[in-house]
Amino acid sequence: MQFQLNLYPTPLVDSITYRDRLLLVGSCFTEHIGDSLAEWKFRTLQNSHGILFGPDAICDALDDIIRVRSYTESDLFYGQECWHSWHHHSRFSATDPAVSLSKINRSIGEAHDFLKQADWLILTLGSAFTYRLTEAAELGGMQVGESVANCHRAPSNWFTKEMMPTDQILTRLQDTIQDLTRLNPKLKLILTISPVRHIRDGAIENNRSKARLIQVVQSLTEELEHVHYFPAYEYVVDVLRDYRYYDIDLVHPNYAATQFVMDRFAEYAFDAQTRSLMEEIKPVRAARKHRPQHPDTQAHRQFLVAQYQKALHLQERLPELDFTDELAYFSDKLS
């Protein structure tokens, strides 16, 4: 008897390899994907504006990266004893505006340089809701009615909340994808929808929000050959389909769920040779994190020597990857 639905998305024809560069932008689930890819030693850059949920915020961020926008102090606002940007996550906020601007502009420059050479953009949409500034808000270079990427715990009367119409989301993403292609004609996109449930919007509203995103993604993948869809949302909601796979907040997928999704992503995105290399890399990464019970024993020293040799062999075979951290760690422990 079968107790679970199965999903069989068509694997990428032009699969991702270790030669590729991957830029990731979007919701917190983007960082689950990005962290796993970085752990597997893929060359990645993720969320240069921080975590972003809505299509408008994601497109604004990508527009900044494409144009290499330079932020100035007039683009910031002051609140909660810090300076913030309406287009950025609070990780870019600071008590000194110069510090905030330095982080913002350095990150945009790095992302622009990476994007020009990138092979893939993995873009995770989280919600169709947007928050727009009211006349009561500290505008920080923005206009009344413009959407923000992060509310920075500002007073609720600074915003109006709305669900973006499907056609508006589609048009905005179409325009941004066109600009991306102009900058980097070889760039391919993988779109995903975050399985994180935005219950604070309301359960019914969350489902309507996700439905709009699903419709937009379908339109984009049907229209554009270089745009693909990976069903992360469906793997959690329709395949796992159980609150055992959520954290205690019943909103965020837990470790087991995210690992399941990433295993499916590997099957979808990587060819057999790349997956074989991953299996060689994983033990070295695990050894780097290992905390021995008896570090002074000869057995542990032999373990370190073996792992150093494995890392060195991988570095020689795969010069495009960076095993500097592992080699330095094992060498330091042996000295």
Neighbours of 146 (CB within 10 A): 17
Question: pLDDT of 52-103, one tens digit each?
Answer: 999 999 999 999 999 999 999 999 999 999 999 999 999 999 999 999 999 9
The reported pLDDT for the residue numbered 251 is 92
Q: Is residue 11 part of a domain?
A: no
pLDDT the model gives residue 323: 93
Q: How many domains does the chain have?
A: 2
* Co-location of 322 and 196 in the same domain: no
User: Given this model, what pLDDT does residue 4 score?
Assistant: 78
Q: Which two tokens stand for residue 34?
A: 């990005």
Asked if the model's pLDDT at residue 2 lies above 80, the reply is: no
Residue 10 lies in a domain: no
The model's pTM is 0.93
| Domain match, 277 and 229 both | no
Collapsed DSSP state (helix, strand, coil) of residue 328: helix
Report how far residue 77's alpha carbon sits from residue 97's, in angstroms, rounded to the nearest whole number: 9
What tens digit of pLDDT does each residue of 301-331 get? Answer: 999 899 999 999 999 998 988 999 999 999 9
Based on the fold, state whether residues 315 and 226 are members of the same structural domain. Answer: no
Token pair 């300076």: residue = 83
Query: What is the secondary structure of 69-124 as a DSSP string?
Result: ----GGGEEEETTEEEETTS-GGG-BSSHHHHHHHHHHHHHHHHHHHHH-SEEEEE
149-185: b (≥16 Cβ within 10 Å) or e: bbbbebeeebbeeebbebeebbebbbebbeebeeebe
> Could you tell me if 66 and 28 lie in one domain?
yes
Co-location of 25 and 130 in the same domain: yes
DSSP state of 278: H
From 270, 292, 319, the end of a domain falls on: 270
Residue 25: domain span: 21-270
Domain-located, residue 14: no
**What tokens does 327 get?**
């080699």
**pLDDT confidence of residue 36:** 93
Residues 294 and 160 in one domain: no
Asked which of 213, 247, 270 is the last residue of a domain, the reply is: 270
Q: Do 74 and 190 fall within a single domain? A: yes
Question: How does residue 174 score in pLDDT terms, banded at 50, 70 and 90?
Answer: very high
CATH number of the structural domain spanning residue 266: 3.40.50.1110
Parallel, antiparallel, or unpaired for β 129-133 and 120-125? Answer: unpaired
Domain shared by 162 and 56, yes or no:
yes
**DSSP structure class, residue 270:** B
Buried b vs exposed e over 59-81: b needs ≥16 C-beta within 10 Å?
bbbbbbbbeebebeeebbbebee
Give the residue-averaged pLDDT of 178-182: 98
Which pLDDT value is given to residue 293? 86
Q: What is the pLDDT of residues 205-242, one digit of tens each?
A: 999 999 999 999 999 999 999 999 999 999 999 999 99
190 and 291 within one domain: no
Q: Model confidence over 19-64: pLDDT tens digits?
A: 999 999 999 888 899 999 999 999 999 999 999 999 999 999 999 9
The stretch 156-185 carries a mean pLDDT of 97
Confidence band for 290, pLDDT divided at 50, 70 and 90: confident
Residues 316 and 225 in one domain: no
pLDDT digits (tens, 9 = 90+) for 113-164: 999 999 999 999 999 999 999 999 999 999 999 999 999 999 999 999 999 9
146, 47: one domain: yes
Whether residues 295 and 186 fall in one domain? no
Q: Could you tell me which of 47, 48, 51, 194 has the C-alpha nearest to residue 128?
A: 194
What is the model's pLDDT at position 295?
84
Residue 177 in any domain: the answer is: yes
Q: Is residue 144 part of a domain?
A: yes
Residue 317 counted as domain residue? yes
Last residue of a domain, one of 270, 301, 323: 270
Q: Is residue 2 part of a domain?
A: no
Q: Does some domain include residue 124? A: yes
Asked if 235 and 265 touch (Cβ cutoff 8 Å), the reply is no
